Chains A and B, each alone.
Chain A
Amino acid sequence: MSKSDWNSPEAVRRLAKRHAAEKRFKLVGLGAIVLSLGFLALLLVIMLKNGVAGLDWDFLSGSDSTDATTAGVWGAAKGSLLTMLVTLLLSFPMGVLAAIYLEEFAPKKKWIEWVEVSINNLAAVPSIIFGLLGLAVFINTFQMPRSSPLVGGLTLALMTMPVIVISGRNAIKAVPPSIREAAYGIGASKVQTTFHHVLPLALPGILTGTIIGMARALGETAPLLMIGMRAFVVTPPDSLTAPSSVLPMQIFLWSDEIDKAFVQNTSAAIIVLLVFLLAMNGIAIYLRNKFEVRW
């Protein structure tokens, strides 16, 4: 066929087939979204139904108790805040500096490849193992106080750092080389080029990765079990070394209670945790938009 005839029956059939394929794909894609969002909606509805009645000021400002009616979530929430603070202060600078070093400064040597592979593997290590590590190193070797936000934060920082390194490296890699050349071209040193030009452009991506890592750490329970943060704590922690619980642990503890009245508490605590997570994601989006530079 030297010239295609768009009106021939064969051509019409071909076109119809292509359109049908497109429609099928749209339907399947939409179905996938509806299915996943449906489960989220279901979870939210059930939690709201069970828990919203328990969300009053006493619950938000109280601490754990053996009595379901007086038990509150503030102790665990404050523990989560302090733990996250330690995690952020440690994993963010460490992760970003490691990412910058690996991406911009590291010599292309064999041992650097090993470091890269190790960091990628570290991000995939099950969290319970980080808990064991925290127990062995921070508590047994360094004699830090058990059940404390300090140890919890340190342990979660170990877990979060590789996530930040990986996302940070991707963000740094995405900065166009022409920007580096521009800076080198007027005599900027490597450190100046990196910190004045590359890092600001990579920051939105780094922040997004950081928040994702932090959100994961916030919901983490297993490693904190190992370092004793499942203790029954009736007073909110007043320092980084005071015994404390965290939100997901509180949820786990309450869901384990035999007393029926704790069902409401469990659902209400889940709502608090979800709000916490949403707020963190909101901050991530805000920061990303704020620092985003177009070029």
Chain B
Amino acid sequence: MTEAKITARNVDVFYGQKKAINDVSIDIDNGIVTAFIGPSGCGKSTFLRTLNRMNDTIAGARVDGQILLDGEDIYASTMDSVALRARVGMVFQKPNPFPKSIYENIAYGPRIHGLASAKSDMDRIVENALTKAGLWEEVKDRLTDAGTALSGGQQQRLCIARAIAVSPEVILMDEPCSALDPIATARIEELIDELKESFAIVIVTHSMQQAARVSQRTAFFHLGSMVEYGETDQIFTNPRETRTKDYITGRYG
């Protein structure tokens, strides 16, 4: 078995008094796509956001348990949440490009992390990120246009390129296609499939079909707990738990 990229042990998340995540333990591997599925409010997004300490920005959120990235405790006092988020990038539900040019959208991350010393370095990073995100051909002649002027699907690929540009090790995607039409969705799914060669990818999705299409492993969440975790094929064809089976066959959701 390969070394897990992210190891979570007995993770609880509280929002104030409310317990949103209950005792989740999971290993997330490199080189594959891991999908979190489950009904609305089951905690899959909340758990995703603990993996890059995005919950730190919410007042009253508290995380118990242990989450290791390459064996390093990400909630240790020695771990800088800013450095962590450069290593564990995130793509959000609604495309949220900065209201700046396409070039600036990509260049911002590398600039604040000091990844490029010269303009030519930066140009290369921008081209590279946009190429990997499959957007370069579409925007190479209008890099100075506003990122917000792109179509929804292009904006989401721009956001993915923005995440790639800081060379993260893991990319977290929080329902990245829920605001997109089927064609744009297919495009993003292809992209996710390509990107898994270079990054560990964790995707939260509402759509079971999407989980089945893009992921190799799937975790099913319900009411704040992880009910089942396994190979995607096994989860969808032969779930061990009745609750998983009921969800997948559409009994609730």
* Residues in B neighbouring A3, C-beta threshold 8 A: none
Complex contact B112–A185 (CB within 8 A):
no
Instruction: From B54, B97, B98, B162, name the one whose CB has the most chain A CB atoms within 10 angstroms.
Output: B98
Complex contact B98–A178 (CB within 8 A):
no
B87 (CB) vs chain A CBs: closest residue? A187
**CB-CB under 8 A for A185 and B163, given A196-B108, A294-B148:** yes
User: For the side of the interface on A, what is the size category?
Assistant: 20 to 34
Total residue contacts A-B, CB cutoff 8 A: 70
Complex contact A189–B82 (CB within 8 A):
yes
* Residues in B neighbouring A295, C-beta threshold 8 A: 97, 99, 148
**CB-CB under 8 A for A192 and B99, given A178-B92, A294-B148:** no
A285 at the interface (CB under 8 A from B): no
A184 to B109, CA, bound (A): 10
CB-contacts of B37-57 with A (<8 A): 52, 54, 57
* Residues in B neighbouring A188, C-beta threshold 8 A: 82, 108-109, 112
Interface size counted on chain B using CB atoms at 8 A: 29
Identify which of A108, A181, A197, A294 contacts B54 (C-beta below 8 A): A181
Complex contact A182–B92 (CB within 8 A):
yes
Complex contact B83–A182 (CB within 8 A):
no
A125 at the interface (CB under 8 A from B): no
Complex contact B162–A187 (CB within 8 A):
no
B163 (CB) vs chain A CBs: closest residue? A186
Identify which of B59, B85, B94, B113 contacts A185 (C-beta below 8 A): B85
Identify which of B96, B99, B162, B163 contacts A294 (C-beta below 8 A): B99
Distance of B147 from chain A, by nearest CB (Å): 9
A182 (CB) vs chain B CBs: closest residue? B96
Residues of B bordering A, CB below 8 Å: 52, 54, 57, 59, 82-86, 89-92, 94, 96-99, 108-109, 112-113, 146, 148, 159, 162-163, 165-166
Extra inter-chain contacts (17) besides given A187-B109, A187-B113, A196-B108, CB under 8 Å: A179-B99, A181-B90, A181-B92, A181-B96, A182-B96, A182-B162, A183-B98, A185-B52, A185-B89, A186-B86, A186-B89, A186-B108, A186-B162, A186-B166, A187-B83, A187-B85, A293-B99
